[in-house]
Amino acid sequence: MSTAVLIRPSTPADASVVAEFNALLALETEHLALDRARLRAGVEAVLGDASRGLYWLAMADGEVVGQLMITFEWSDWRNGFFWWIQSVYVRRDWRGRGVFRALYEHIHREAKSRDDVCGLRLYVEQQNQQAQQTYQRLGLRPTTYDCYEVDFRIAR
């Protein structure tokens, strides 16, 4: 029998688990060992100010088993916000059990219920074929845009 996955918004008390999941995510996907103090401060900044973003947590058996963060981008073309899906992490022992699907479906419903949200977006590592296939199964499609950046804080 499978355990139900429940989705809830994060609270400041979740800072440790969110920071840990973000550290694991960076190491696993980009082979980056993040500065833990900076990471914790960044997580706490989001948890303390919803205008910076929102973390949603997947719960099972009373434990956090997955997370994603939403940040906001204003589109003047659409007169609405894109919700960017970021910091997606599912514990290894919970992968393939519908955790990301539950998180995604939750924020999809939340976004569609609001008049000020025009869509959802995310970015994914080019080599992460498994994640790309997961996203496409859920109805997300690649865009015609490539992402460019100048990163002042994390050396690669």
Mean pLDDT of the chain: 94
Range of the domain at 106: 6-137
* Residue 150 located in a structural domain: no
Instruction: Give me the number of domains the chain comprises.
Output: 1
Quick check: is 65 in a domain?
yes
pLDDT of residue 156: 58
In a domain, 145, yes or no: no
Name the pTM for this structure. Answer: 0.92
Given a cut of 60, whether residue 141 has pLDDT beyond it is yes
Amino acid at 126: Q
SS3 labels along the chain: CCCCCEEEECCHHHHHHHHHHHHHHHHHHHCCCCCHHHHHHHHHHHHHCCCCCEEEEEEECCEEEEEEEEEEEEECCCCEEEEEEEEEEECHHHCCCCHHHHHHHHHHHHHHCCCCEEEEEECCCCCCHHHHHHHHHCCCCCCCCCCCCCCCCCCC
**Average pLDDT for 134-142:** 93
pLDDT given at position 125: 86
- The verdict on residue 45 lying in a domain is yes
Q: Does residue 134 have a pLDDT over 70?
A: yes
Q: What percent of the chain has pLDDT over 90?
A: 86
pLDDT at 155 over 70: no
Residue 154 confidence (pLDDT) above 90? no
Q: How confident is the model at residue 1 (pLDDT cuts 50, 70, 90)?
A: very low
Averaged pLDDT for residues 112-136: 93
What pLDDT, in 10s, does the model give residues 55-64?
A: 999 999 999 9
Mean pLDDT across 7-26: 98
Mean pLDDT, rounded, for 78-100 = 97
The average pLDDT across 116-139 equals 92
pLDDT of residue 151: 87
CB 59 within 8 A of CB 52: no
Which CATH number characterizes residue 19's domain? 3.40.630.30
